[in-house]
Amino acid sequence: MIVDIHDDFSLKKIAKSGQCFRVTEQGGGWWRFIATDKAMFMRKLDDAESPDGAEFGAPFGAGEYETTADADTWAQFWKPYFDMDRNYAAIRAECFGKSGFVDEAMRFGAGLRVLNQDAWEMLVTFIISQRKSIPAISSAVAALSEMFGEPIHIDCPEGCKRVGLYSFPTPESLASASDEQLKKCSLGYRVGYVRDAARMVVSGELDLDELAGMQDDDLFCELQRVHGVGKKVANCVCLFGYGRSQMVPVDVWIQRAIDEDCNGCDPFAQYGADAGIMQQYVFYYMTQRK
């Protein structure tokens, strides 16, 4: 199926933006996305290699995209996943001019979008993320999904390999997992954290659906009841799992940006409801610029 996209959209930048860890580049311009129990291949058509930067106000990467998703699954799952109801080109234009550094990060990262992902998947993934590099997180999540997830059966485009197609593990499957199995997934000292989180969800002590109805502060506090979830991980779950676009996770890269590029002043507060989106541009800029 063909999707016509009129806003910022870069599969490559999204894939490398450190918010999703189950996205892989395939052959022939295809990118494979796995989220919860779904997998989907997508590529840009009519693609002359896009330049790195962008003009403000002009959509970056707009055009026709081919997806293996059917119309219903696109509309119900992937369209909201890609946050398609938000106009990122307009946000870049509105936010321009408040910080030279953030302006440059927006120019560099044009095409990024903050994905709406599953809260459970985000909780586990960002518990795992602590003190790991992005490639290490990706391989741990892949191992966990292969060991505890279910095979996903979809048709792959020509040249794309049918490997590693597993759903994200359910809370039940992780709650009943053994330490030995979890350790094989390179979770290290995080094994106990993941099992506790799974148990809390299975027992109902932590109701992730109920949390969706809470105010930011309450949501933020509730998440930190989970062992292994501090401020940074809680902020990631709020931003990526609950669509709280004003939340700003501060990791070593964002802290470095504040310290070394912004004279020690936090630039994010001035963006209000878009602060978390600016954070994502800055994270991408810090990790991908040469």
Partner DNA sequence: TACCAGGGGATTT
Partner DNA sequence: AAATCCCATGGT
Q: Nearer Cβ to DNA, position 68 or 109?
A: 109
Size of the site for DNA (CB under 7 A): 37
- Residue 117 within binding range of DNA, rule CB under 7 A: no
Q: Please say which residue, 31 or 126, places its beta carbon nearer to DNA.
A: 126
Task: Give the per-residue contact string, 86-105, with DNA (x = CB under 7 A; - = no).
Answer: --------------------
Regarding 121 and contact with DNA (CB under 7 A), the answer is: no
End-to-end Cα separation, the chain, in angstroms: 36
Asked if residue 162 binds DNA (CB under 7 A), the reply is: no
Q: Nearest 10 degrees: CA dihedral of 114, 116, 119, 124?
A: -50
Contact 16, 283 (CB under 8 A): no
Q: Which stretch binds DNA (CB under 7 A): 11-19, 96-104, 144-152, 159-167?
A: 11-19
Which of 59, 243, 249, 267 forms a contact with DNA (CB under 7 A)?
249
**Residue 254 is a binding residue for DNA (CB under 7 A):** yes
Q: Name the 3-class secondary structure at 38.
A: strand
**Residues 222-257: b if buried by 16+ CB within 10 A, e if exposed:** bbeebebbeebbbbbbbbbbbbbbbbbbbbebbeeb
Count CB-CB contacts under 10 A for residue 41.
19
Among positions 1, 58, 75, 134, the unique one binding DNA when judged by CB under 7 A = 134
Closest by alpha carbon to 21, among 100, 131, 110, 128? 128
**Cα separation of 193 and 200, whole Å?**
11
Residue (159 or 230) nearer to DNA, CB: 230
Question: Footprint of DNA on this chain (CB under 7 A)?
Answer: 17-19, 126, 129-137, 139, 183, 186, 188-189, 224, 227-234, 236, 249, 251-254, 279-280, 283, 287
